[in-house]
Chains A and B, each alone.
Chain A
């Protein structure tokens, strides 16, 4: 750099490098504070009241004063939740077949709204072998694309412990899928379930990627996302979701948390319940008992 150049710099540049970096630092602190404050406000909004996810005060007031016109049903009176007692699940997959019937899910083994996982620890092993109805051996065992069953592959194996875990959409308080939906086709309803408006779904499958529980799939025949909605058309008519209805052992429990004597309220009150992946911060509404260390 020549002397002349240095002079030129001192004259023309009002902002020195030192000042610029300083300003940048201050700016970052301010921006951080702003974002922090904003998220704190958002958090207090969702925690302090019964606002649904991403619902502002005006929309909340509308939801309370002018609820959706569903006959004999007001979504302000209910807060639905589900419990799964894994110690009672026998892996019969009746829930899955009934769900497919009720909700017209594609009938092959790879499309489902609810499913059951089998965890098997062989003797001397510290990790579980997991399979579901999509396992090729299980599909072969049923001999049909539309029936589902676990095969008896561990009949002669030395099994240390084994159990079934039923899974479904967790209808989270802070649903990742709703956050990413570009068209407003999926949303958190005020009474709990996360619903899909199939007329607005463009089939981009961003929500399928976003769900930490793998609860969403893509329905090729409809061209829209597919997920459990706790049979919203049934619970708004006073019926149980169909998986709860057909569970032969009472492994699934469903009810209204606003009613302290409902099965789910009793289930949560009288048992030590867990949720799946609490570290994700989604705040699931499906409560489990009997989960094992490897169940995620």
Chain B
């Protein structure tokens, strides 16, 4: 055999030996075990540590909040009958809003991260490298965050199904934070169970009220249609109003100096005093009141006894820190709405609502609420 052929055969043999031994040593035993893949990979993938642990895992430390959630509508937001035969799980659990807790919570040692967590993340826009352990997110939400979290599910979007509770932000809350009225763990407002604020003493309030009666009347029915009636008004609202005058949040040439002279107890007492009187109906233009009734649908969410979801007596607010409007002087009501419009009075909700009203709307609404019975 010629020499060059022998050399060639030798070379081929060496290559073959290298190739077969490489195949023998480099392909793991479990390859081809279950198919054209590494059989051990299945158990490796399954061995990763779950990060989100479910609502039940929060209970051991956060008992009070967990109890609130369990009793509230966020726990019960299921519709078992939605699709025949399918039992839906409960509504939003802890990790729906507090996403990604278990990974970094309560400590890395207690809840080890998976290997994948140690990689860094590259984002496209700036190609910046985030630090490792990406899911380091605040778990305790600030009011601003909370608002954005609530709106994630509850902002009115065209594509959302009807059953989902949705709000038009501008008309529902304006700039107000959701948590002002709602407990995010149990967001449905149950009026009866709202905490009672410290009540004032009406008898002690009588002495303070002497200076008020010049304008607001002895029994809370004011002496001029530009002054508000106080009779039967929610005491909590009166307290808030006086405090606002005292702190300067609300300004009025008459009321600011009056309120400045009152201490906390005086404010509570005088509010209790006026809220005990029975209110009257001042009446308004009947034709305008009829027109106003249509427009008042926008106000009913807050200024009716049924509150946000029910129907109740118009003009009687469901929440004691919101004012009753029924029977109030028409002129005072329209002045108030106009002061929200021109910015001399400010309120997160009312300012944006008032700015969407025409002068005629204001007249009609004022006439409507003035002619409503306040009980």
Contacts and interface: CB of A to CB of B under 8 A. Distances in A.
Contact of A102 (B37, B50, B158): B50
Contacts of A91: 157, 159-160
B33 to A, nearest CB: 6
A97 B99 contact: yes
Contacts of A234: 50
Interface band, chain A: 35 or more
B82 to A, nearest CB: 7
Contact of A233 (B37, B49, B135): B49
Contacts of B34: 52, 55, 59, 62-63, 68, 187, 190
B63 to A, nearest CB: 22
Contact of B40 (A68, A248, A263): A68
Given A110-B124, A184-B36, A231-B50, A93 B152 contact: yes
A66 B130 CA distance: 42
**Max count, chain B CB within 10 A of own CB: residue among A91, A102, A162, A187:** A102
A232 B99 contact: no
A188 B95 CA distance: 30
Contacts of B86: 253, 263, 266-267, 270-271
Contact of A88 (B50, B82, B155): B82
Contact of B43 (A59, A70, A267): A70
Interface band, chain B: 35 or more
Nearest to A108: B123
Interface string B125-136: 100001000110
Closest 5 CB pairs of A and B: A250-B88, A101-B100, A233-B48, A197-B41, A248-B92
Interface of A: 52-55, 59, 62-63, 66, 68-70, 73, 75, 85, 87-94, 97-98, 101-104, 106-108, 110, 118-120, 145-147, 149-150, 152, 154-155, 157, 159, 162-164, 184-190, 195-197, 199-200, 220-222, 229, 231-234, 236-237, 239, 242, 244-246, 248-250, 253, 263, 266-267, 269-271, 289
Interface of B: 31-52, 54, 77-79, 82-89, 91-93, 95-96, 99-100, 103, 114, 116-117, 119-125, 130, 134-135, 137, 148, 152-153, 155-161, 163-164
19 contacts: A63-B34, A68-B39, A94-B152, A98-B99, A98-B100, A102-B50, A107-B121, A147-B148, A150-B159, A152-B156, A164-B160, A184-B38, A195-B42, A222-B119, A233-B47, A237-B46, A246-B93, A248-B96, A270-B85
